[in-house]
Structure 1
Amino acid sequence: MAKKTRGKGEGSLTQDSRGYWRVRIELPADRDGNRRRKEIRRKSKAEAIAEMRELKKELAKTGDLATSSVKLEDWSETWLKERAKKLAPNTISGYRVAFRDYINPKFGSKKLDKLTPGHVRELHDLILETPKDKALRELSDPPEGTELLSSTYALLVHNTLSGALKMAVRDGIIGRNVCELVDKPTKRHTVEEVLTFDEGVKLLKYLTTHKDGPLWATYLLTGARRGEIIGLEIDRVREDHLDLSWQIQRIKDIKQAPQDYEYRHLENRLYLVRPKSKAGWRTPPLVPELAELLRRQIGGRTEGLVFQRDGRPWDPADASIEWKTILKEAGVNEKVKLHGARHTAVGLLYELGVGEATIMQIVGHSTVSVTRRYGQAGNKRAMQDAMKKLSGALSGKAIEPPANQKQN
């Protein structure tokens, strides 16, 4: 039986049958209300007392103490499994890559309570010094001018590690999240290339003769996201609006999807997925010009995807590549990404005098205005009028180019 001894200021000490001194310190209960204690073992009573005093100082400072030593690589799997219950598969896949390729190779063997702010800064440096081209990563001295991973990606990796450590703190495994003691990498701000008014008119004119013209014109005339248009189904083309409540995504491992994740399989790794929040279910207006384009595209079909490539769904990556080809053929700015069509629509709506609240409702930006009901008649009329302005302007019907876009 353990021999229990108490001395002034020593706290709780027990000496086991092997002669080791064991210290126990009461800690705050875990999130389920269960009792927690910090326990250490030392060879001598003096060492145990000294360690106990240090732990009490740390407890007073941070409010908690680590109760066990867990390797980061082991904890990462626990965290990923927990997060996979709530997040989309592609989001979890990104977190998994961050741990697999960067965090765990560098620090996976370390105990959670041994991580320091210095380790986090080392991780930042590692990312920012890694070539973007995987073929160059094995070189000890990559060629001058090699493109490196961005600060935006370094921020993603930082947030991944921080999320895992945050759960460890919450579960009482560690007393602090060292990521919170380090400045985050600064996210790179890039200026999105957009089409000018004249380029938009030129592109729309070119699309009238292109076999896939209706697809690309729909992006310009709705400000929709890439997956929303290639994922548009015939039964969601309504009389006066489009129902964009589903979109195409390429998903590597659908088995990672949480239980409440809504999806429908198309082929291979392509799925129709629905935004988890109804705030993401957008209904942009269907103006007459666009309605006519879609009617011609659909023809006599009654079901399936509106836009197909040789009878099959468009892969999102292929759509982005083909968009670049379209811009080149039309003789407009080839640097504009497919997402830039969305920014182009927003910019032109601003220039045509459309109010900010209406624009936000049309494109579904995350602002207070998107919480308003799309079903309100006033909002519907405002969105219809706005998109008629845009469609008329790009079609050259009765609306002059904005003053700042006119040729001198």
Structure 2
Amino acid sequence: MEISDKLRKALGPNATAFYSETKGLFIGRIELPSSDPKKRRRREFTAKDEGEFLRKARTLLNRYREAGDLATSSPTVRTWMTYWLENIAAKRVRPKTLAGYRSVVNRQIVEAIGNVKLEKLTGVHIRLVHDYITDNGGSSTYALNAHRVLSKALEDAVREGKINRNPAGLVDAPRKSRTQLQALDLNEAKVIIKRAFLALDAPIYDPEPVRWAAYLLTGQRRGEIIGLEWDRVGDLIDMSWQLQRLSEEELAAAPADFEWRDLDGYGLYWTRPKSEAGKRMLPVVAALSFLLEEHRKRVAPNPWGLVFTHKGRPIDPDWETKRWPKALAEMKVTNKKIRVHDLRHTAVDMLLEAGVPEDVVMELVGHSEVAMTRRYKDPTKMERRTQGMLQLSAFLNPDG
């Protein structure tokens, strides 16, 4: 079969086409740049009829003009996701976020559609990922997370000319499942605060109750409390560092702007919060100031300058998570299943119930994405935050 003049004109000087009688296909080849003059690189494509062939040719040639090159073959989802994790995502996100991406990719996305060619992906395949997760006991929230990770990776595949469009954008993302958050109520929170004060009078000092009280009296995250250093505690607490466990591989793969400090061989690192909202100066109210001052008198100095340790060693984040429910059971405060992170929710609830304005609460706990560094230098903002913490302190007064 002869190639029409219309088709020849559309192909231009960088492409050729012919019809294979034996295969019953139009076959096209686009010449591509090569770093080795002795080796030719070209992208081949086929179609059963001239109309379909023309559409494919125009699409590929447009991508070639935009990117200056084309992939000579389509990678599988497995190959692309591996490349994306190591060469694109690793330069963008923090180590723990990358570890989360890697888990989603290897345990969910690759298991569901890893062998599918990238250019063959459709909305059907995206739904297969959703179904794989929910059929294996995962929640719709897990499916939503996988959808978002896959969509990011496919968007980058579009940018790099691997595919024409992101098929994840053709499919509705799963809805986040609703969970009923558990939190301590006012009376339960007061019991924990009171135990911190009672611990100061015990014959043998147990520093744990003061640590639990610190969560409630600041509303801060696990890493921020266990990573708190004495030289960042004064009239204000500098909450610009948190303690995390990181592997050497995670550190090596961290983006260039990732800030960290080593705790000397424990596999624990102080790291900067991921957003400007996380870098906060927090007012220290009377109750917390008293507890920390008395706590400092009763504990031996440690080489890292940490406010809280366990048996003289830095507190591992995972150990803290496992220790809290046991401590809660020992204190017999409640039968509710409360995570250590839920102490943060309790602090927020108490701040709001004490009448602290919502925007001040957001600043205190670092929730607001629009909070900028300049806000923390504004005396008016600091006065409002101090008043907010005073309201919380009075609200949680164990004798009230």
TM-score (norm 1): 0.80
1:23–1:48 CA contact under 8 A, matched in 2: no
1:40 to 39, 44, 47: 44
Relative to structure 2, which stretch is displaced further, 57-66 or 77-86? 57-66
Deviations 1:187-233 (A, max 9, x none): 12222211111111122112323412211111110011111000001
Question: Residues 123-161 of structure 1: CA distance to partner in whole angstroms, max 9, x if unpaired?
Answer: 11111122xxxxxxxxxxxxxxxxx22211111212222
Partner of 1:404: none
Partner of 2:35: none
| One-letter identity of the residue aligned with 1:106 | A
- Identify the residue that residue 33 of structure 1 maps to in structure 2: none
Structure 2 SS opposite 1:209 = helix
Match of 1:257 among 222, 230, 254: 254
| Residue 69 to residue 226, structure 1, CA distance change in 2 (3 Å) | same
Counterpart amino acid of residue 92 in structure 1: L
1:48 deviates by 6.6
Q: Does 1:341 align with 2:330?
A: no
Change (3 A) 1:322 1:395: same
- CA distance in 2: counterparts of 1:47 and 1:383, whole angstroms: 69
SS in 2 for 1:23: strand
Q: How does 1:2-401 map to 2 (within 5 A)?
A: 7-10=5-8, 11-12=10-11, 14=16, 22-23=27-28, 39-40=43-44, 47=48, 49-55=50-56, 68-81=73-86, 82-130=88-136, 148-210=137-199, 211=206, 212-238=208-234, 240-252=235-247, 253-266=250-263, 267-299=265-297, 301=301, 304-333=305-334, 334-369=336-371, 373-396=375-398
Helix, strand or coil: the match of 1:8? helix
* Equivalent-residue separation in structure 1 for 2:365 and 2:16 (angstroms): 66
* Aligned residue-pair number: 364
Name the CA shift for 1:53/1:396 in 2 (closer, same or farther; >3 Å): same
Identity of aligned residues (%): 40
Equivalent residues of 1:361, 1:370 under 8 A apart: no
Contact map agreement 2:196 2:291 (CA 8 A) in 1: no
Shift of 1:385: 1.8
Q: Distance in 1 between matches of 2:16 and 2:185?
A: 78
Report the CA distance shift for 1:15/1:197 in structure 2 as closer, same or farther (over 3 A). Answer: closer
Residues 41 and 48 in structure 1, CA contact (< 8 A), matched pair in contact too: no
Secondary structure of residue in 2 paired with 1:284: strand
Contact 1:62 1:176 in 2 (8 A): no
Gap runs ≥5 in structure 1: 27-36, 131-147, 400-408
Decide whether the 8 Å contact of 2:218 with 2:347 is kept in 1: yes
Instruction: Quote the offset at 1:264 in angstroms.
Output: 1.7
Structure 1 residues 348-373: Cα deviation after superposition (integer angstroms, max 9, x where no partner): 11111111121111111124355651
Amino acid at match of 2:231: D
Any runs of at least 4 consecutive aligned residues in structure 1 with deviations exceeding 4 A, and if so which? Answer: 18-22, 56-67, 369-372
Q: 1:56 to 1:215 in 2, by over 3 A?
A: same
In the TM superposition, residue 39 of structure 1 has moved relative to its aligned partner by: 4.7
User: What stretches of structure 2 of length at least 5 have no aligned partner?
Assistant: 32-40, 200-205
Contact 1:154/1:185, CA 8 A, preserved across alignment = yes
Deviates more, 1:361-370 or 1:52-61: 52-61
> Over aligned residues, Cα RMSD in angstroms?
3.3
Could you tell me whether the CA contact under 8 Å between 2:192 and 2:212 is conserved in 1? no
Residue 188 to residue 21, structure 1, CA distance change in 2 (3 Å): closer
Deviation at 1:248, TM superposition (A): 0.9
Secondary structure in structure 1 of the residue aligned to 2:368:
coil
Structure 2 CA distance, aligned partners of 1:205 and 1:15? 83
**Which has the higher mean CA deviation after the structures are superposed, 267-276 or 57-66?**
57-66
* Separation in structure 1 between the aligned mates of residue 221 and residue 58 of structure 2, nearest angstrom: 53
The answer as to whether partners of 1:246 and 1:275 remain within 8 angstroms in 2 is yes
Distance verdict in 2 for CA 1:205–1:174, change over 3 Å: same
Q: Distance in 2 between matches of 1:244 and 1:339?
A: 16
Alignment CA distance shift 1:321-1:209 (3 Å): farther
Q: 1:15 and 1:172 mapped to 2: Cα distance? A: 22
Aligned partner of 1:163: which letter? K
What TM-score do you get using the length of structure 2 for normalisation? 0.81
- Give CA deviations for 1:88-145 in whole Å, capped at 9, x if unaligned: 1111111112222222233222211111211111111111122xxxxxxxxxxxxxxx
